[in-house]
C-alpha cells in the first residue's frame, strides 16, 4: 500500500531527475514539530523550477509519480502562485506549490513577508537543493517579526462597518427568498470578518506575540473558549429560519468580541450607528422568529 514515505521518496527522485527543478522542500505539518502530521495530514511541497508553467499546465508528471485518482490546479493561499493538488491511491493528498527558480535566488536579498517567515519558522525539510541556494537561505537568521499586525483604528472601523452593513445585506436577501445569497453572506463573508475579529480579540487580550496561526488554523485552540462554544449556532442549514437564527447568533458573538477588543485597544467605535443597523437586521428577520 502506498504511503507518504513512498511519495516523499518518489517526489525526491523526480525532483533530482528533472533538470528544470532546482530546489524542493517540504512545508507544513510533515516538516514541523508543533502540531506535527497526523493520519489526516497531507504533504505540502514547494518546488522552484526554471519553467514552472509546464508543471502547472500538465498533470502528467504528477500522475506518473504514483497511481493517482485525480489532479488539478488552484491558487496558493496567498494568491501569488499556483499549486498542483493530486490525490493518490488510498486518498493520499499532495499539494505542490510551483515557483520560478529565480524567486529563490531573490529571497536571499529581500525582506521576507510575515506569512513566509511564519511558515519557515515552524519547520522545513529540504528534499533537493541543486544550486546550494536553500543551504545559504536556511542558514540565514529569520527576522523577529510576528504574523499579526495590529490594525489602525481606521482599519478596525472599516472592518466593523463591513460586518454590520452585511448583516442587513444578508437579511434583505433572506427576505427576498434568495437563500443561496443569504447563506453565503452569513456563512462566508460574515464568517471571514468574524474570524478576523476572533484573531484581533485574542491579541487584544493576550498580546501581539500570541500565536493565532494562519487563516484560522487551530482556531479551536487559540480563540476565546466562550466564542468557540458559541460558534455552532452561527452556521446555518439551507433553510430560511435557520439562516435567520445563524445570522442573529453571529451578530451576538461579534458584538461582544468587538466590545472587548475596542475596550482593550482604546478604540472609539460609533456604536450608535452599529446598534441601529443591528436593530434593522433583526427587524428584517422578524418573520422567522423573535430576535432580541
Q: Where are the domains of the chain?
A: 4-138, 153-288
Which value, in Å, is the radius of gyration of the alpha carbons in the chain?
23
pLDDT of 292 strictly over 80: no
Q: What is the pLDDT of residues 179-189, one digit of tens each?
A: 999 999 999 99
DSSP SS3 for 188: helix
E-assigned strand segments in the chain: 21-27, 43-49, 68-75, 82-88, 92-100, 125-129
Which residues are CB-contacts of 289 (< 8 A; sequence separation ≥ 6)? 241, 244, 245
pTM for the predicted model, two decimal places = 0.81
Q: What is the pLDDT of residues 1-40, one digit of tens each?
A: 999 999 999 999 999 999 999 999 999 889 888 888 888 8
* The CATH number fitting domain 4-138, selected from 3.40.1010.10, 1.25.40.10, 3.30.460.10, 3.60.10.10: 3.30.460.10
| Cα–Cα distances in angstroms (integers) from residue 192 to residues 106, 166, 188, 214, 215, in the given order | 33, 12, 6, 13, 9
72: β partners: 85
CATH number assigned to the domain covering 153-288 = 1.20.120.330
Q: Distance between alpha carbon 247 and the CA centroid of its chain, in Å?
A: 22
- Calculated CA dihedral for residues 174, 179, 185, 191, nearest 10 degrees: 110
Amino acid at each position: 500500500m502506498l504511503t507518504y514515505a513512498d511519495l516523499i521518496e518518489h517526489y525526491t527522485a523526480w525532483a533530482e531527475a528533472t533538470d528544470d527543478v532546482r530546489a524542493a522542500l517540504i512545508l507544513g505539518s510533515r516538516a514541523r514539530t508543533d502540531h506535527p502530521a497526523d493520519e489526516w495530514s497531507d504533504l505540502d511541497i514547494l518546488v522552484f523550477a526554471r519553467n514552472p508553467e509546464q508543471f502547472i499546465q500538465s498533470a502528467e508528471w504528477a500522475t506518473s509519480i504514483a497511481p493517482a485518482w485525480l489532479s488539478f490546479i488552484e491558487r496558493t493561499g496567498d494568491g501569488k502562485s499556483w499549486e498542483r493538488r493530486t490525490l493518490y491511491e488510498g486518498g493520499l493528498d499532495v499539494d505542490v506549490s510551483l515557483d520560478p527558480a529565480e524567486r529563490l535566488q531573490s529571497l536571499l536579498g529581500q525582506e521576507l513577508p510575515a506569512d513566509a517567515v511564519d511558515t519557515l519558522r515552524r519547520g522545513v525539510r529540504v528534499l533537493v537543493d541543486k544550486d546550494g541556494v536553500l543551504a545559504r537561505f536556511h542558514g540565514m537568521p529569520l527576522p523577529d517579526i510576528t504574523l499579526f499586525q495590529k490594525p489602525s483604528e481606521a482599519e478596525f472601523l472599516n472592518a466593523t462597518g463591513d460586518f454590520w452593513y452585511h448583516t442587513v445585506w444578508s437579511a434583505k436577501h433572506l427576505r427576498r427568498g434568495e437563500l443561496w445569497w443569504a447563506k453565503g453572506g452569513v456563512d462566508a463573508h460574515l464568517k471571514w470578518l468574524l474570524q478576523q475579529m476572533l484573531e484581533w480579540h485574542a491579541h487584544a487580550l493576550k498580546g501581539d506575540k500570541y500565536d493565532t496561526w494562519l487563516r484560522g488554523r487551530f482556531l479551536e485552540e487559540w480563540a476565546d473558549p466562550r466564542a468557540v462554544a458559541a460558534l455552532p449556532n452561527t452556521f446555518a442549514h439551507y433553510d430560511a429560519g435557520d439562516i435567520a437564527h445563524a445570522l442573529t447568533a453571529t451578530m451576538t458573538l461579534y458584538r461582544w468580541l468587538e466590545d472587548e477588543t475596542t475596550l482593550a485597544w482604546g478604540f472609539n467605535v460609533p456604536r450608535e450607528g452599529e446598534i441601529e443597523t443591528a436593530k434593522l437586521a433583526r427587524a428584517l428577520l422578524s418573520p422567522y422568529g423573535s430576535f432580541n
